[in-house]
Amino acid sequence: MLEIRKNEERGVANHGWLQSKHTFSFGEYHDPRHVGFGPLLVINEDKVAPGQGFGTHGHRDMEIISYVLEGALEHKDSIGTGSVLHYGDVQRMSAGSGVRHSEFNGSQNEQVHFLQIWIQPNVKGIAPSYEEKHFAPDTKQGQLRLVASSDGRDGSVLIHQDAAIYATLLNTGDAVEHSLAQGRSGYVHVIRGRVTVNGTALSGGDALKITGESGVQLAQAEAAEVLVFDLPY
């Protein structure tokens, strides 16, 4: 079964310094039809004004992944980690038993644009931890690049859930496919550009829930950047 989640149907938050679109229910936006997909609970597309950001706040028992698209994302947390992330960087923070952190635009001149993804872990109360990796564009061009997994294989960041996230850049003529094992579902989020997924035409900001299918097929792309999630039901 295929279910489209259109860009224009996402929740919108405008705080002046922050422009955000919510794929799933988050904060003041609640839609009972969209409260997560398996352990995937949040995909927020955030654009933060220069010099602004999220002040120190806390999380528990959540896998928080940031996928930076533009600008400089500055991170600081209570376990002593500090970093500035740029395009191609993927950050994973396991909140575990509790962590406090802040996220700011590290530039005084340009906005920072990133996806914040929350995945419910399959363990609770673990020690909080942090990891970041850089994935160069050529490693994603015309192919699916594993960026997050349950075992950190192939240089991906490690998440505490039986899930995997792949990133790809697709131009005209490119096509990729990912097989789904029995009992698995797929979720495709189109960051930008255009692509056909399992015969369904999608544009930037659109997404597709995939259940009961043997795989995920991406084709007919136009300057597309896409995330593919392999998830347990």
pLDDT, tens digit (0-9, with 9 covering 90-100), for 118-135:
999 999 999 999 999 999
When computed from its CA atoms, the radius of gyration of the chain, rounded to whole angstroms, is: 17
The pLDDT value given to residue 220: 97
Name 82's Cβ contacts closer than 8 Å, sequence gap at least 6. 74, 75, 76
Question: What is the maximal distance between C-alpha atoms in the chain?
Answer: 48
Name all domains of the chain by residue range, CATH numbers in brackets: 9-135 (2.60.120.10), 138-232 (2.60.120.10)
Can you read off the two tokens belonging to residue 5?
Answer: 């989640």
Task: Assess whether pLDDT exceeds 90 at residue 13.
Answer: yes
Instruction: Round the average pLDDT of the chain to a whole number and report it.
Output: 96
CA 82, CA 62: separation in Å to the nearest integer? 19
Predicted model pTM: 0.96
pLDDT band at 136 (very low <50, low <70, confident <90, very high): very high
Q: Do residues 208 and 61 make contact, with C-beta atoms less than 8 angstroms apart?
A: no
Q: What are the strands of the beta sheet with 53-59, ordered from one edge?
A: 53-59, 99-105, 73-77, 82-85
Can you read off the two tokens belonging to residue 63?
Answer: 């896998």
**How much is the average pLDDT of 215-223?**
98
Question: What are 42-75's pLDDT values in tens digits?
Answer: 999 999 999 998 888 899 999 999 999 999 999 9
